[in-house]
Chain A
Amino acid sequence: MNDRIIFEDVSKFYGEILGVNRVNLSIPPGVTSLVGPNGSGKTTLMNLMTGLVRPSRGRIQVLGYTTDDPENLFRVVGYSTQFDAFPKGLTGFQFIYSYLCLSGMPLADAERTARQAIERVNMVEAASRKVAGYSKGMRQRIRLAQALAHNPKVIVLDEPLNGLDPLARAEMIALFRASAAHGSYVIISSHILHEVDAISDQVILLSNGYVVAEGQIQSVRKEIQEHPTQILIRCDRPRELAAKLFEAESTIEASIHKDGQGLLLKTRDADRFYLAMNQLALNGIHIESIAPADDDVLSVYEYLIGNEEVIR
């Protein structure tokens, strides 16, 4: 499996404190978000992936490389930490350039590559200014440039959207999507759930050091049996529709939308419900739209972890 990031029964303990426990993952290309409350093990998982901490147990492979092989591993991995990690006195360009030199790039290549990375994150004008004078958004972007500079296939970004204004967020998200579209593995940690929803191909939900769910968010939602699926139906005669839907056994609850133009339905069997809806639509009720109301990260997160520290 040289095209995946693989965790095999990985545990990490800091003395008696649990970092992560019994993690088994196989991460494909695309944008993967690590979601969980503070202290759930997101950063530990990222540090394990990048070889910054060693697992107490288990095995990690990143595209076929073990984390004990830094010379090869860090050719394919780029990491941006969540803290303001800038050595003192460097300009944006020097920051990128010096770390490329440290990675083993010859000076001329490092200079050219650093300029390309700075261009990718739209920081050309500020590149010759000291990082200490950057705004929060600029710091995030230059950190991202540092992680992207050597064109790594795996980009690990710890809380990359923290402190960014909406415009900068949109730019960053576009950058993640573009990287993923080029076949990169973009691993992001975040607890800003609506953004996670918008950018992720798959999510890994963590709680207290355990992986509680992983995969595409809709698939994860389907697996959660104890919470009935919520579906929002926009239609012209919601009361009539509600009465008909209650005839189906799987319908648990239906409530009329505030504006009187829709219905929020809870069902145990979404597939049977969709079949039934086809019939109802054919029977003359004008249905404008049908959309799942709780197959987003926020809902899944609340069902599995609870609503602690959720930022909506």
Chain B
Amino acid sequence: MAVYRRSYKPYSGTLTAEWSRFLVLFRYSRRNLFHSKFLTVFYVLCFFWPIACLAWIYVAHSASFLAKLGLRPEFVAIDNKFFLLFMSVQGVLAFLLTAFAGPSLISPDLANGAMPLYFCRPFTRAEYVLGKSSVLGILLSEITWIPGVILFLIQASFAGASWTWDNFWIAGSLILSSLILIAVLSLLAMALSAWVKWRIVAGALLLAVMSFGAGFAQAINTVLRIEGGHFFDLVYLMATIWTNLFLVDNDRGISAGQAWVAILVYCSVCLGLLLRKVRAYEVVR
């Protein structure tokens, strides 16, 4: 039996908090995303509409400017419809940004067989998913609810306490509608990224799910003469929830409650698909 010198000295320094370790993934993944010039340019373009909305708010509160343009104040009213319009445009941009950034989040790790490297340390699957989804979560937040709330605060500062008090719920709607959009887009993009190894195909599939869903839903509704086809249309479901959140009258084929349930089902399915793939080892049967 060999005799060994016990000179082993393990790392004995402090460790970072467990909850914060997912941020390492966030840091690296985000930096990788912005290596792409196209994405960087597109990301900057995503702020044009918030700036336009900011200008709109300024104009709405500038009587002299309105007079110069010959516009009536009610034409440029800053209300729930204004913020729904803001969110609708930003929602489309968020979707396009996700289609570009989402597929590259998980598929390279799976293609390179890097999963065991993540999990052979104090790092769980949930933390991995959190780390990767935080990239999209924060990226999409930067172009949806954060500028939305800033616009709301600017409008509040112009309009005064009375307007702010009466319309405070709009800020909540902005945040909630953004969060549901971010959750759906992130989970869908990551699930596709986990199951489709080719980035371009995963991006195309994301576009297909959103666009063909509407066509498929319309086909079902027309052939079967029902409204149930809308459950296959993610954009429609999202629009139903948003119009409900922003209290905009809109005669929809399905109720907001049904849309919420459908969206939660989609999110659960995506999460299930994601966790099925995000494993230390893939078992080949």
Q: A interface vs B, CB < 8 Å? A: 14-15, 17, 29-30, 47, 50-53, 70-71, 73-79, 81, 83-90, 98-99, 101-106, 109, 113, 146, 150-153, 180-184, 201
Contacts and interface: CB of A to CB of B under 8 A. Distances in A.
Nearest to B14: A106
B25 A102 contact: yes
Nearest to B35: A89
Interface stretch (B81-89, B106-114, B164-172, B257-265): B106-114
Given A15-B285, A71-B18, A81-B117, 16 more contacts: A52-B116, A52-B120, A76-B10, A81-B120, A85-B113, A85-B114, A86-B114, A88-B112, A102-B118, A103-B121, A104-B15, A105-B11, A106-B16, A182-B6, A182-B7, A183-B4
Contact of B121 (A74, A109, A183): A74
Contacts of B38: none
B37 interface: no
Contacts of A30: 2, 4
Interface in B1-39: 2, 4-11, 13-16, 18, 21, 24-25, 28, 32, 35
Contacts of A84: 112-113
Nearest to A77: B120
Nearest to A153: B8
Contact of A183 (B8, B24, B28, B114): B8
Contacts of A151: 8-11
B124 interface: yes
Most chain A Cβ neighbours within 10 Å, of B9, B11, B15: B11
Secondary structure at chain A's binding surface: helix, strand, loop or mixed?
loop
A89 B111 CA distance: 13
A254 B17 CA distance: 68
28 contacts: A17-B285, A47-B281, A51-B119, A53-B281, A71-B18, A74-B122, A75-B11, A79-B116, A79-B120, A83-B113, A84-B113, A85-B112, A85-B115, A87-B108, A87-B114, A87-B117, A89-B32, A99-B121, A104-B16, A104-B122, A105-B15, A150-B10, A151-B9, A151-B11, A153-B10, A182-B6, A182-B8, A201-B2
The 10 tightest CB contacts between A and B, nearest first, are: A104-B15, A52-B280, A83-B113, A79-B120, A103-B121, A88-B108, A85-B114, A14-B283, A183-B8, A101-B24
Nearest to B113: A83
Contacts of A152: 10
Contacts of A47: 116, 280-281
Contacts of B280: 47, 52-53
Interface in B194-214: none
B65 interface: no
B120 A113 contact: no
B123 interface: yes
Interface of B: 2, 4-11, 13-16, 18, 21, 24-25, 28, 32, 35, 108-109, 112-124, 280-281, 283, 285
B120 A102 contact: no
B18 A104 contact: yes
B160 to A, nearest CB: 47
Given A81-B117, A86-B112, A105 B13 contact: yes
B99 to A, nearest CB: 19
B119 A52 contact: yes
Contacts of B35: 89
Contacts of B283: 14-15, 17
A9 B139 CA distance: 49
A28 B138 CA distance: 48
A81 B282 CA distance: 13
A188 to B, nearest CB: 16
B16 A74 contact: no
Nearest to B15: A104
A71 B122 contact: yes
Given A81-B116, A102-B24, A70 B11 contact: no
A75 B11 CA distance: 8
A109 B116 CA distance: 23
Given A52-B280, A53-B280, A85 B119 contact: no
B5 A182 contact: yes
Given A75-B10, A106-B16, A181 B116 contact: no
Contacts of B122: 70-71, 73-75, 103-104
Contact of A113 (B8, B11, B117, B118): B11
B110 to A, nearest CB: 11
Contact of A105 (B6, B16, B124): B16
Contact of A180 (B4, B21, B119): B4
A181 B7 CA distance: 9
A105 B15 CA distance: 5
A288 to B, nearest CB: 29
A109 B114 CA distance: 24
Contacts of B4: 29-30, 180-183
A30 B10 CA distance: 17
B113 A109 contact: no
Given A15-B285, A87-B109, A153-B10, A102 B32 contact: no
